[in-house]
Amino acid sequence: MKKTVIAEVKWIPKELGGRSAPPTGGKYCPIIRFNDTCTSKGDWSAEILCTEFDNNLNSIVEISYLSSEAPFENFKLGNAFKLYEGAILVAEGKIIMDN
C-alpha cells in the first residue's frame, strides 16, 4: 500500500515565476524537495492529487511518492517542502496530516 500524507500548498503565481494555474482534476507529478530532509537521497518525483484551490492559490492536497524506494521518512507532520517543474519553483507547502 502506498503511503500518502495531506499537505497545505501555496501555489506560486505565474507573474512570480510559477504556474499559470494550479493543477486540478487529476494526478500531478512534480519534483519534491523537503526543507528538512531526513536523508541525502536526492530529488524524487511526487504524486499529488489537487482538486481545488482558493482565491489565494492555496490548496489541500494528497501527496505520495511515485517510487516505492523513495525516502518516506520525509513524510513527517510539519515538514516543509517545495515543488518544482524542472528548475522552476511552482509551490511551497507543509505536511499537515499523516494518512
Over residues 40-95, the pLDDT tens digits come to: 567 899 999 988 889 999 999 999 999 998 989 889 999 999 999 999 999 999 99
The predicted model scores a pTM of 0.90
- Please report the pLDDT score of residue 37 as a whole number: 59
Checking if the pLDDT of 99 tops 80, the result is: no
pLDDT grade for 32, boundaries at 50, 70 and 90: very high
- Please report the pLDDT score of residue 1 as a whole number: 62
Cα dist from 51 to 4, 20, 25, 39, whole Å = 16, 16, 5, 30
